[in-house]
């Protein structure tokens, strides 16, 4: 199994977890850290990293970033109709920032790993 397939698989699992945990009523959602914004950032960072390590090109990394930002916006809007949840701009911003950092880190890692060794 290749790194691409593992990365994509973990990315889809992360996306499913984000959607599932974001759309349950507030009383049912577990809290991992005290700050909801930190949870948003870390969840989207990890998911973005997984997808981007499975990416074959910078275009796929950019598509991942855009897709996760759209997902974040849609989830925040959907939360307006879920009991005990509030959709907020801050959640969107921190989620998108996490996806951006994950994309940048994976891009830098890809560049380093493909750089020819100096002798």
Domain ranges of the chain: 3-114
Chain segment 83-118, per-residue pLDDT in tens: 888 888 999 999 999 999 999 998 888 788 777 767
CA dist., res. 12 & res. 1, Å (int): 16
- Per-residue confidence (pLDDT) for residue 119, from 0 to 100: 64
Kindly state the average pLDDT of the residues 19-36. 80
Inter-axis angle of helices 36-53 and 89-114, to 10 degrees?
A: 30
- Per-residue confidence (pLDDT) for residue 17, from 0 to 100: 94
pTM score > 0.85 for this model?
Answer: yes
Q: Is the pLDDT of residue 53 over 90?
A: no
């Amino acid at each position: 199994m290749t790194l691409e397939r593992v990365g994509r698989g973990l990315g889809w699992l992360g996306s499913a977890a984000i959607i599932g945990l974001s759309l349950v009523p507030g009383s049912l959602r577990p809290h991992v850290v005290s700050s909801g914004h930190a949870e948003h950032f870390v969840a989207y960072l990890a998911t973005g990293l997984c997808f981007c390590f499975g990416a074959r090109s910078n275009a796929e990394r950019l598509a991942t970033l855009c897709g996760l930002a759209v997902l974040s916006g849609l989830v925040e809007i959907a939360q307006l109709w879920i009991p005990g949840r509030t959709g907020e701009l801050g959640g969107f911003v921190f989620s998108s920032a996490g996806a951006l950092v994950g994309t940048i880190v994976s891009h830098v890692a890809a560049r380093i790993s493909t750089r020819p060794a100096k002798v």
